[in-house]
Amino acid sequence: MYNIASPITPIKGIAPKEKAMEGGKWKIVDEFDGKSHEDGGIDIFVSGGVVRRINAPHHKPDEYAGWGSFWKSLGAGAYGLGEGLLDTITLGATDKLTDMGYEGLQRLGGSTADEIREQNSVRGYGTTAGAITGGILSGGAATGSAIQQGSKGLGAGVSYGSPDSEFAQAVGTYVPLAGSIAGMAVGNAGYKGDISAATKGADAATKAGDLSKASELADKASRLTKLSKIADTTKNISKFSPLIQAGLSTMMRPQAQPQVGGFQQGVREVTPFLGPGMRESYRQLGQEISEASSPKRQTAMSMMDGVQNFGGEGGPIQFQVQPIQQADAFGYLGKYGINV
């Protein structure tokens, strides 16, 4: 397998890391019942995450699985993540380009129709996570676009492929946590304007002789600048990348328990497995946010308020998307011992 994200990801350092094997849950897909290798064996065709039996008695196989073997099938998801970031940072202007690139890569890889279907499904989920995360990392200015792009990705995941695909769902577990962090970023999305306002206020207070107020506002501007740098500096993507690798459904929450599908249940099952590094990343990010100004509700999110139905009536995924309150997010993190 090859990582199809790297050839077209335009910014250094944002190519998603390949997921490690450790930490996943294994499932039995098939128990082969048939001939031994001596008698001709069982011919199977492997293409990414698609495995199917074929009838090719006279065709020499590429591989014999006698001693066991393994392969990775994350390429499409990895690409989707990179593309989501690309589209977000450019505010969607590269939509056509990236679609063409994606289709070109599918052709290059000799993907079958089944594989393309699965890739499209996974790509949708991956794009959602990438887009929303890109919104955070671009400093909040692109967050509205990111969430729209994310919705598109999520819808694509449901409509193009198999929503019950465990593979797609595994990639999809990136989404809610990224969304919740995006929510926190949205809560502070006005910090760029606040930096300017605080700086001007500090200047005005200084001129007016109110040194206490000037100091307070200068300090606020400093904290907001620090937060802005976190979001704007791409090197911090690697620092906070663990944040998108688990499930946390603060922003995308179900309306009521009966509407929580397997997808979200899976997300919630992942949440308790936050590692020490991930917790530390949370703590650092939360600390930065809590040091910044009080959260604002931004218009970028208001367009997404209300129930979002992806995949049609009664579809597998139904979220109530709403602006996040900083306290909600911190309260949620507190359940897992992450106190900010």
Provide the binding-site residues for another protein, judged by CB under 8 A. 1-2, 19-37, 41-49, 51, 54, 56, 59, 61-74, 77, 109-112, 115, 166-167, 170-171
Rounded to the nearest whole angstrom, what is the least distance from the CB of residue 226 to another protein in the complex? 34
- Contact status, residue 183 vs residue 144, Cβ threshold 8 Å: no
Encoding tokens for residue 123? 């790509």
Neighbour-count burial of 18, counting CB atoms closer than 10 A to its CB (0-12 exposed, 13-18 middle, 19+ buried): middle
- Comparison of 64 and 226: residue with beta carbon closer to another protein: 64
Rounded to the nearest whole angstrom, what is the least distance from the CB of residue 335 to another protein in the complex? 23
- Comparison of 245 and 249: residue with beta carbon closer to another protein: 245
- Comparison of 15 and 186: residue with beta carbon closer to another protein: 15
- Comparison of 56 and 208: residue with beta carbon closer to another protein: 56
Rounded to the nearest whole angstrom, what is the least distance from the CB of residue 118 to another protein in the complex? 11
Q: What is the C-alpha separation between 129 and 113, in angstroms, rounded?
A: 25
Tell which residue, 323, 307, 194, has the closest CA to residue 256.
307
- Comparison of 33 and 313: residue with beta carbon closer to another protein: 33
Nearest 10 degrees: Cα torsion 249, 252, 255, 256: -20
- Comparison of 162 and 225: residue with beta carbon closer to another protein: 162
| CA dihedral for 302, 80, 50, 29, sign (positive or negative) | negative
Q: What is the C-alpha separation between 253 and 149, in angstroms, rounded?
A: 19
Residues 6+ apart with CB under 8 A from 169: 125, 262, 263, 266
Rounded to the nearest whole angstrom, what is the least distance from the CB of residue 28 to another protein in the complex? 5
Please provide residue 269's backbone torsions phi and psi, each rounded to the nearest 5 degrees.
Answer: -65, -30
Rounded to the nearest whole angstrom, what is the least distance from the CB of residue 9 to another protein in the complex? 18
Rounded to the nearest whole angstrom, what is the least distance from the CB of residue 124 to another protein in the complex? 15
- Comparison of 4 and 301: residue with beta carbon closer to another protein: 4
Rounded to the nearest whole angstrom, what is the least distance from the CB of residue 107 to another protein in the complex? 12
Helix 95-108 and helix 75-89, axial crossing angle in degrees, nearest 10:
160
Encoding tokens for residue 306? 């209300």
